[in-house]
Amino acid sequence: MATQSREDGITLSREEMETLNAAFEQGTLAGAASRLQEILESLETVHLDMVIMGETGSGKSSFVNALRGLRDEDAGAARTGVVETTQEPTPYQHPQYPNVTIWDLPGISTFGIYPEAYLDQLGFSSCNIFIIIASQHFTAQHAVLAHHIQSMGKSLYFVRSKVDVDLDSSLQRRPSSYSEAGVLQEIQEDCEEGLRAQEIEFSRVFLLSAFELGKYDFHLLKETLEKELRHHKWETFLLALPGISLQILEKKKASMLQHMWLVSTVASGIHTVPIPGLSISCDVDLLVRTLQGYCKTFGLDDNSLEKLAAQMDQPVGQLRALVKSPLAKAVSKTLVVQLLTQATSMVPKLSKQVVSTAPVLASMASGALSFATTYKMIRSFVDKVTEDAQRVLIKVFEVEAEK
């Protein structure tokens, strides 16, 4: 569902308008908000389970940590090493999104001669995403797993890890003729040839480095998941991704723009209280939780900034100085009321589309104003936190370039 916003008004997608229209048949804003609250709650409870498999030493656990925005030495990180450190299937919840679980499995050599039976025994048939990682070649054991996972109709992706190590090695061996693009193409073709020899269906092999997740093919993996995952599963995965590129930040913002009209309607119709000095009523507690969640999604909370500063070996104060909007813990009821007051003078009129499709909303002046004010406030807040996250990321790029 896509929410469209214009300077002269708020417009909604056809699907959103149909939902609003059906809800308003109950005749009240509270009735509509109650229906939409069910949708909002369903979005917040979507679970995503991802399984990471590969040989011992292939970088499975480092990849798990990278997806969770952690370094190998951080508290709560998956154990890593050149020998097998994962003895049992281990679930790791995302630090900020506990409904996202990433499973780190032991090296596939420990699965025995029937790896497919091993997966069935552990009950992984309910998981959403399977990723097989290899740091060199894809073998017959990889193939057995792949065929079994694909026979279950599950999403399966192949990752060739540690390409940064291969590039460094190639540069040292052949400095005069070194070509990064040439080495990457050679690795890609070798992996694809191996999979074809095992008669495995695949779209492509994604070349990655867990220590430089923003480089190489991670953006292609992200785009593939976006196309293949069901809408709500993709939104869950996207919000949990570390903000390692400007493109990911823009995708996060786009997701929030789809989410904020739901929040605005629910906040304007359920558990509302009058806002002193304003002609609106809304659920301030819901708005506080929403804005705090947006900050955390963009890494604009103390814990995320401290981890990033440690990774950069830079004072955390330098990153905090780049953030103009409040950090997550600073979002309070008082702040939300202040932001609503500021938004009152900038509230757009409801578009003719909304008025004609849901006339009950237009007839309820107080509810309409509450909805429009809340929407404008959230939209302005998202714009600002996006700019802050972009400034922080650009600073990270500058520091990395200097190293």
Per-residue model confidence as pLDDT tens digits over 12-46: 445 555 655 555 554 444 555 555 555 555 556 66
Are residues 263 and 382 both part of a single domain? yes
The pLDDT value recorded for residue 365 is 47
204 occurs within a structural domain: yes
Are residues 248 and 310 both part of a single domain? yes
The pLDDT value recorded for residue 207 is 93
5 occurs within a structural domain: no
Are residues 27 and 82 both part of a single domain? no
Are residues 272 and 373 both part of a single domain? yes
Which of 220, 240, 260 is the C-terminal boundary of a domain?
Answer: 240
CATH of the domain at 157: 3.40.50.300
Are residues 154 and 80 both part of a single domain? yes
Are residues 255 and 362 both part of a single domain? yes
218 occurs within a structural domain: yes
Give the pLDDT confidence of 111-145 residue by residue, as tens digits.
665 566 666 666 676 777 888 999 888 888 888 88
Which of 180, 206, 240 is the C-terminal boundary of a domain?
Answer: 240
Are residues 263 and 341 both part of a single domain? yes
Instruction: Kindly state the average pLDDT of the residues 344-371.
Output: 58
Which of 189, 224, 240 is the C-terminal boundary of a domain?
Answer: 240
366 occurs within a structural domain: yes
9 occurs within a structural domain: no
Are residues 152 and 276 both part of a single domain? no
SS3 content of the chain, % helix, strand, coil (to 5): 55, 10, 30
Are residues 303 and 265 both part of a single domain? yes
The pLDDT value recorded for residue 158 is 92
Predicted model pTM: 0.58
Structural domain that includes position 311? 14-43+244-396
Tell me how many domains the chain contains.
Answer: 2
Distances (CA, A) of 93 to 64, 99, 101, 214: 10, 7, 4, 21
Are residues 31 and 168 both part of a single domain? no
Give the pLDDT confidence of 170-208 residue by residue, as tens digits.
888 888 888 989 999 999 999 998 888 888 887 789 998
Contact 12, 20 (CB under 8 A): yes
7 occurs within a structural domain: no
Contact 371, 363 (CB under 8 A): no
Are residues 361 and 387 both part of a single domain? yes
Contacts of 143 (CB under 8 A, 6+ apart): 195, 198, 199, 200
403 occurs within a structural domain: no
In this structure, what token pair is assigned to residue 338? 């202040």
Tell me what the pLDDT averaged over the chain comes to: 75
123 occurs within a structural domain: yes
| C-alpha torsion sign, points 18, 19, 23, 27 | negative
Are residues 201 and 151 both part of a single domain? yes
